[in-house]
Amino acid sequence: MEGKLILLVEDNPDEETLTLRALARSGIDSQVVVARDGAEALDYLFGTGAYAGRDTTIMPTVTFLDLRLPKIDGLEVLRRMRADERTKLLPVVTLSSSDEKHDISTCYESKANSYIRKPVSFIEFTETVRQLGQYWMELNVPPGI
Amino acid sequence: MTLALTLDKPMERVRRVLGISSILTLALVFLIAVLMALITMYDIQRERTSFYDNLEKRGDFLSNGLTEVFADHLYYARVRELQSAADRVMASLPDIQAIRVFRRDGSVLVDRQGHAGNSAYVVGTAKGPVISDTVDTGIFAYSYTRDSLLLTSPLEINSEVIGTVQFAFDQGPLNAEITQILLERAWQSSALIALGIALAYLISREVTQPLKTLAASAERIGNGDLEEPVPAQGAKETKVLANALERMRVELRGLYGGLEIKVAARTQEISNINQDLEREIEVRKLAEGALRDSESRLQSMIDSAAAGIITIDDEGIVESVNSAAEKLFGYRPDEIVGQSVSLLMPAPYQDAHDGYLASYRETGRSEIVGTNRELQARRRDGTVFPIELAVSESWSGGRRTFIGIITDETERKRAEDERARHALALEAANKELEAFSYSVSHDLRAPLRSINGFSQALLDDCADELGESGQDYLHRVKASSEHMAELIDNLLQLSRITRSEMKWEQVDLSAIAGSIAAEVQRSQPERQVRFDIAEGLADQGDGRLLQVVLDNLLSNSWKFTAKQPQAHIEFGAERFDGVPAYFVRDNGAGFDMAYSGKLFGAFQRLHPTSEFEGTGVGLAIVQRVIHRHGGKVWAESAVDRGATFYFTLKTGEENGSGGKINLVGGRQSG
């Protein structure tokens, strides 16, 4: 999994720590870039703001996107990604606490590739992350960049 | 044209006064008289001409023969010879009345007057013509007096006129001759006229008598006497006329005869119609009586109607109001009838109403007539209130009446406004609830995940330091967080069921129960449970929600039969109050009916978690779903004797009257 990159968009430091821990415990050693709000995520993707000058030919293999974010929320990040040529095909997995039908359908309408409800049990969560890493980083064939 | 009129009028009068025979006679007499007069005049003229010719011939002869003698005597002034010569002539020619010899200067030299007996009679003039030198010789002239013909002839010696001689011829014979002619002609005329009159009489008898008869016949016919035939007499034309008249008479008689028959038939017909009319009038009178009754009934209906009823004419003038309208507007009938209906409207409508009416009269188009409209009305005291107005128009005797039915909408409007306020409040509450649910699902779960995750991290990383009891505590923390997550999920599910929209469809309950049974069996394949699921159970409902109901009930049964070595779960239906009551029955732990009141309350549990896990939300969800379907849910059980949960999807016929219902109702309200 070398050269592969995961973009984790998560504002809650606890969640960030637990997700990174789950990734580590699942044996996923890819580089993980963490953006702590929607604006930072977009800056990273488009090489703007704090990430000005970043080599934007390098794009995440998969983006784990939380919906509840400060500044620009997850759905808006997703829409802007889909509106831009450089990011419109990037795989995005929505990670959310919600199981509201409305949230789920809105995400798919905004062209999320997957919707995952984070379980409370960390053991279950680790298993979920392991499967996600395995699927998106290994099984899935990403769109050619 | 004026001339024709002036001539026509007297002719017309003549024709009117005189009969045709008189005209004929007069014309004939007139014709004869004119002819005779002409003949007489011609005869007299001829007689006179021949007489004078004769005299003149004699005169010529006289003057030729005598003038020489007379000239000689004159030349020598032999008066005596002249006198005797004249006497001789006169003696020999008795019709010469007088002879005079004049000198050249016209003076009389000799004047010998006629016959004895009338010698005093002076014939002609006493003065002769004056002969001048310039006068041509050979003067020879005739002149006439009443009784005489005067012949004046020159006396010449050697072609010189020395005097004149005048002979006066007697005209007596001529006059006698003329008198004779006149007399003759008079007689002839008389005779001819008499003949003419006789002829006219005959002609008129021949021609006018038949005409008179015809005229009399025609007059009879004219007076309607068609029985006497028209006699054909007189000339050919008259006969033709008479025959024509006769044919006309016969034809007329035929026509009159037919007419009389027709008149008789028509009279009969009219009499029949009259009888019909009389009968109809009777019927009408009865109908009018009935109509009056119906009218008075209608009037009392109008008067007792709850809605205000106002009629106006084409111009918007109020014709009548019923008692409800009086109360509604606060006007007495005499205060409003005859006034413009715009009196009952607030300002903007008041001014526009006349325009509306005029426009409707012209175009026949209106937003009011034939529809119900919500409008504002004005009471006598000036207060404006909402009404519903239905206007219809009716035509009677060419007059249009608009009938307005007015309902006071004040109460309804108020209730509506209140309802709208409530709906708004409810909507706001729902929105809030939604936001709350969203918040719960997101924000309450995140800390639980942290608690769970870091507890797990501690167990993973620091197990040795924690020791046995430390690890046990952390396991409890983890379990609690998971339980709380479950509680949150159930709570959300409950709230979602209340909010979600119902989708009615035919639901195959047997199939749903079957698939749930298979699923729970899969989750614990080691358990031996007998499922009895009745086939073909289907009903109207929301499939997704009924799935939740059966899931909860069957899972409960599965759970509470866990300690039963020979578990038995049954799904079926019974009739209850005329509607199907579906049930899920098990032979599990059951419960004490004394606590059944807590059965369907949220987070209420009748068993300790250590014995049977669960959140206590399941049955609350079941009850909510069944209530949303308009059905009932209840249970029967006893401790260790199993439990049966019943539900219906529609209201029974004897709603709430059964003992079971009362029992269950008590539990539900608790």
3-class SS at B600? coil
Q: Over the stretch B402-429, which tens digit does the pLDDT of each residue have?
A: 888 888 888 888 898 899 999 888 888 8
Q: Which residues are CB-contacts of B86 (< 8 A; sequence separation ≥ 6)?
A: B99, B101, B110, B112
Q: Is A116 on the interface with B (CB under 8 A)?
A: no
Contact B578, B653 (CB under 8 A): yes
The answer to whether the Cβ–Cβ distance between B445 and A12 falls below 8 Å is no
Predicted confidence band of residue B669 (pLDDT cuts 50, 70, 90): very low
Residues of B in contact with A21 (CB under 8 A): 453, 457
- Name the nearest CA neighbour of B124 among B72, B171, B55, B71: B171
Written as one string, the DSSP assignment of B565-590 is: TTEEEEEEEEEETTEEEEEEEE-S--
B661 pLDDT more than 50: no
Percentage of chain A lying above the pLDDT 70 cut: 97
Q: What is the dihedral of CA B639, B641, B642, B643, to 10 degrees?
A: -70
Predicted confidence band of residue B665 (pLDDT cuts 50, 70, 90): very low
User: Partners of A5 in the beta sheet?
Assistant: A31
Predicted local confidence at residue A100, as pLDDT: 80
Q: Is A100 on the interface with B (CB under 8 A)?
A: yes
The answer to whether the Cβ–Cβ distance between B438 and A100 falls below 8 Å is yes
Partner-chain residue, chosen from B437, B446, B454, that has the shortest CB–CB distance to A97 = B446
Contact A110, A80 (CB under 8 A): no
The 3 state secondary structure assigned to chain A is CCCCEEEEECCCHHHHHHHHHHHHHCCCCCEEEEECCHHHHHHHHHCCHHHCCCCCCCCCCEEEEECCCCCCCHHHHHHHHHHCCCCCCCCEEEEECCCCHHHHHHHHHCCCCEEEECCCCHHHHHHHHHHHHHHHHHHCCCCCC
Q: Looking at residues A24-33, what average pLDDT do you find?
A: 89
Q: Which residues are CB-contacts of A18 (< 8 A; sequence separation ≥ 6)?
A: A122, A125, B449, B450, B453, B454, B457
Q: Is A105 on the interface with B (CB under 8 A)?
A: no
Residues of A in contact with B445 (CB under 8 A): 97, 118, 120
Over the range B264-278, which residues count as b (16 or more CB within 10 Å of their CB) and which as e? Answer: eeeeeeeeeeeeeee
Q: Is A121 on the interface with B (CB under 8 A)?
A: yes
Query: CB B548: neighbour CB atoms within 10 A?
Result: 19
3-class SS at B402? strand
Indicate the burial class of B240 (C-beta count within 10 angstroms; 0-12, 13-18, 19 or more): exposed
Partner-chain residue, chosen from A97, A98, A121, that has the shortest CB–CB distance to B482 = A121
Interatomic CA distance for residues B449 and A21, integer angstroms? 13
Partner-chain residue, chosen from B441, B453, B484, that has the shortest CB–CB distance to A125 = B453
Highest mean pLDDT among A39-43, B91-95, B340-344, B400-404: A39-43
The answer to whether the Cβ–Cβ distance between A100 and B448 falls below 8 Å is no
Interatomic CA distance for residues B218 and B248, integer angstroms? 10
Chains A, B: CB pairs < 8 Å: 60
Q: How far does Cα B23 stand from its chain's mean position? A: 65
3-class SS at B470? helix
Residues of B in contact with A23 (CB under 8 A): none
B633 pLDDT more than 50: yes
B439 pLDDT more than 50: yes
B498 pLDDT more than 80: no
- Name the nearest CA neighbour of A92 among A74, A106, A105: A74
B572 pLDDT more than 90: yes
- Structure tokens belonging to residue B408: 């006071």
Residues of B in contact with A14 (CB under 8 A): 446, 449-450, 453-454
Query: CB B544: neighbour CB atoms within 10 A?
Result: 14
A62 pLDDT more than 60: yes
Partner-chain residue, chosen from B437, B445, B453, that has the shortest CB–CB distance to A18 = B453
Highest mean pLDDT among B77-91, B106-120, B245-259, B282-296: B282-296
User: What does the angle CA B24 – CA B26 – CA B31 come to, to the nearest 5 degrees?
Assistant: 95
Q: Over the stretch A72-107, which tens digit does the pLDDT of each residue have?
A: 889 999 999 999 999 999 999 999 888 888 889 999
Match 């005093």 to its residue by tokens.
B120
Predicted confidence band of residue B473 (pLDDT cuts 50, 70, 90): very high
Residues of A in contact with B481 (CB under 8 A): 120
The answer to whether the Cβ–Cβ distance between A125 and B449 falls below 8 Å is yes
Predicted local confidence at residue B589, as pLDDT: 85
Percentage of chain B lying above the pLDDT 70 cut: 88
The answer to whether the Cβ–Cβ distance between A123 and B456 falls below 8 Å is yes
Q: Report helix angle B410-439 to B463-499, nearest 10.
A: 160
Long-range CB contacts for residues B374-378, cutoff 8 Å, separation at least 24: B374/B409, B375/B345, B375/B349, B376/B345, B376/B346, B376/B349, B377/B328, B377/B329, B377/B344, B377/B345, B377/B346, B377/B406, B378/B329, B378/B343, B378/B344, B378/B345, B378/B346, B378/B350
- Name the nearest CA neighbour of A35 among A26, A24, A21, A46: A46
Q: Which residues are CB-contacts of B529 (< 8 A; sequence separation ≥ 6)?
A: B521, B558, B561, B567, B568, B569
Predicted confidence band of residue A132 (pLDDT cuts 50, 70, 90): very high
Residues of A in contact with B457 (CB under 8 A): 18, 21, 122
User: What does the angle CA B614 – CA B620 – CA B589 come to, to the nearest 5 degrees?
Assistant: 50
Q: Over the stretch B298-323, which tens digit does the pLDDT of each residue have?
A: 888 888 888 889 998 888 889 888 88
Predicted confidence band of residue B563 (pLDDT cuts 50, 70, 90): confident
Q: How far is CA A71 from CA A41, A77, B72, B100, B603, in A?
A: 11, 10, 191, 182, 38
Long-range CB contacts for residues B498-506, cutoff 8 Å, separation at least 24: B498/B624, B498/B628, B499/B430, B499/B433, B499/B434, B500/B545, B502/B542, B502/B545, B502/B628, B502/B629, B503/B542, B503/B543, B503/B544, B504/B540, B504/B541, B504/B542, B505/B540, B505/B541, B505/B542, B505/B543, B506/B538, B506/B539, B506/B540
Interatomic CA distance for residues B455 and B440, integer angstroms? 22
φ, ψ of residue B610 to 5 degrees: the values are: -65, -30
The rounded mean pLDDT for chain B is 81
Q: Is A96 on the interface with B (CB under 8 A)?
A: yes
- Name the nearest CA neighbour of B57 among B151, B178, B171: B151
- A111 in the Ramachandran plot: left (φ > 0), alpha (ψ -120 to 50) or beta? left
B243 against B116, higher pLDDT = B243
The answer to whether the Cβ–Cβ distance between A97 and B492 falls below 8 Å is no
Predicted local confidence at residue B144, as pLDDT: 67
Q: Is A122 on the interface with B (CB under 8 A)?
A: yes
Handedness of CA B345, B347, B350, B356 (dihedral sign): negative
Predicted confidence band of residue B659 (pLDDT cuts 50, 70, 90): very low
Partner-chain residue, chosen from A100, A118, A122, that has the shortest CB–CB distance to B456 = A122
Partner-chain residue, chosen from A96, A98, A120, that has the shortest CB–CB distance to B481 = A120
The answer to whether the Cβ–Cβ distance between B449 and A18 falls below 8 Å is yes
Interatomic CA distance for residues B45 and B182, integer angstroms? 12
Residue of A nearest to B448 (CA): A120
Test mutation, A14, A107, A120, chain B, max B CBs within 10 A: A120
Predicted local confidence at residue B477, as pLDDT: 92
Residues of B in contact with A15 (CB under 8 A): 446, 449-450
Match 């007697």 to its residue by tokens.
B170
Interatomic CA distance for residues B333 and A26, integer angstroms? 93
Predicted confidence band of residue B53 (pLDDT cuts 50, 70, 90): confident
Q: Over the stretch B177-232, which tens digit does the pLDDT of each residue have?
A: 888 888 888 888 888 888 888 887 887 777 777 777 888 888 888 887 777 888 87
Test mutation, B452, B459, B484, chain A, max A CBs within 10 A: B452
Partner-chain residue, chosen from B442, B445, B453, that has the shortest CB–CB distance to A122 = B453
B545 against B432, higher pLDDT = B545
Contact B323, B306 (CB under 8 A): no
Residues of A in contact with B452 (CB under 8 A): 120-122
Predicted confidence band of residue B645 (pLDDT cuts 50, 70, 90): very high
Query: CB B524: neighbour CB atoms within 10 A?
Result: 10
B125 pLDDT more than 80: no
Q: Is A98 on the interface with B (CB under 8 A)?
A: yes
Partner-chain residue, chosen from A98, A120, A122, that has the shortest CB–CB distance to B442 = A98
Test mutation, B430, B433, B441, chain A, max A CBs within 10 A: B441
B576 pLDDT more than 60: yes
Amino acid at position B504, single letter: W
Test mutation, B439, B443, B444, B449, chain A, max A CBs within 10 A: B449
Query: CB B237: neighbour CB atoms within 10 A?
Result: 11
- B613 in the Ramachandran plot: left (φ > 0), alpha (ψ -120 to 50) or beta? beta
Predicted confidence band of residue B451 (pLDDT cuts 50, 70, 90): very high
Predicted confidence band of residue B660 (pLDDT cuts 50, 70, 90): very low
Written as one string, the DSSP assignment of B406-468 is: EEE-HHHHHHHHHHHHHHHHHHHHHHHHHHHHHHIIIIIHHHHHHHHHHHHHHHHH-HHHHHH
Q: Is A94 on the interface with B (CB under 8 A)?
A: no
Indicate the burial class of A112 (C-beta count within 10 angstroms; 0-12, 13-18, 19 or more): buried
Lowest mean pLDDT among A19-28, B434-443, B444-453, B634-643: B434-443
Q: Looking at residues B259-282, what average pLDDT do you find?
A: 89
Predicted local confidence at residue B14, as pLDDT: 64
Test mutation, B445, B448, B490, B503, chain A, max A CBs within 10 A: B445
Partner-chain residue, chosen from A15, A21, A125, that has the shortest CB–CB distance to B446 = A15
Predicted local confidence at residue B9, as pLDDT: 65
Query: CB B521: neighbour CB atoms within 10 A?
Result: 14
Handedness of CA B125, B131, B135, B137 (dihedral sign): positive
Interatomic CA distance for residues B368 and B364, integer angstroms? 11
Q: Is A125 on the interface with B (CB under 8 A)?
A: yes
Q: Over the stretch B8-20, which tens digit does the pLDDT of each residue have?
A: 666 666 666 667 7
Pairing of strands B96-103, B160-170: antiparallel
Partner-chain residue, chosen from A21, A99, A118, that has the shortest CB–CB distance to B457 = A21
B668 pLDDT more than 50: no
Partner-chain residue, chosen from B438, B452, B492, that has the shortest CB–CB distance to A120 = B452
Stated length of chain A = 145
Q: Looking at residues A62-68, what average pLDDT do you find?
A: 92
The answer to whether the Cβ–Cβ distance between B442 and A97 falls below 8 Å is yes
Q: Is A14 on the interface with B (CB under 8 A)?
A: yes
- For residue A141, give how far its alpha carbon lies from the nearest alpha carbon of chain B (Å): 31
The answer to whether the Cβ–Cβ distance between B457 and A14 falls below 8 Å is no
Pairing of strands A5-9, A62-66: parallel
Pairing of strands A31-35, A5-9: parallel
Q: How far is CA B472 from CA B356, B449, B467, in A?
A: 88, 19, 9
Interatomic CA distance for residues A61 and A32, integer angstroms? 10
Contact A44, A54 (CB under 8 A): yes
Residues of A in contact with B441 (CB under 8 A): 97-100
The DSSP 8-state label assigned to residue B369 in this structure reads: B
Provide the terminal-to-terminal Cα distance of chain A, rounded to the nearest Å.
17
φ, ψ of residue B603 to 5 degrees: the values are: 60, 20
B670 pLDDT more than 80: no
Q: Is A18 on the interface with B (CB under 8 A)?
A: yes
- Structure tokens belonging to residue B265: 């038939």
Q: Over the stretch B275-287, which tens digit does the pLDDT of each residue have?
A: 999 999 999 999 9
Q: Looking at residues B325-348, what average pLDDT do you find?
A: 86
Lowest mean pLDDT among A53-67, A110-124, B188-202, B376-390: B188-202
Provide the terminal-to-terminal Cα distance of chain B, rounded to the nearest Å.
127
Predicted local confidence at residue A21, as pLDDT: 93
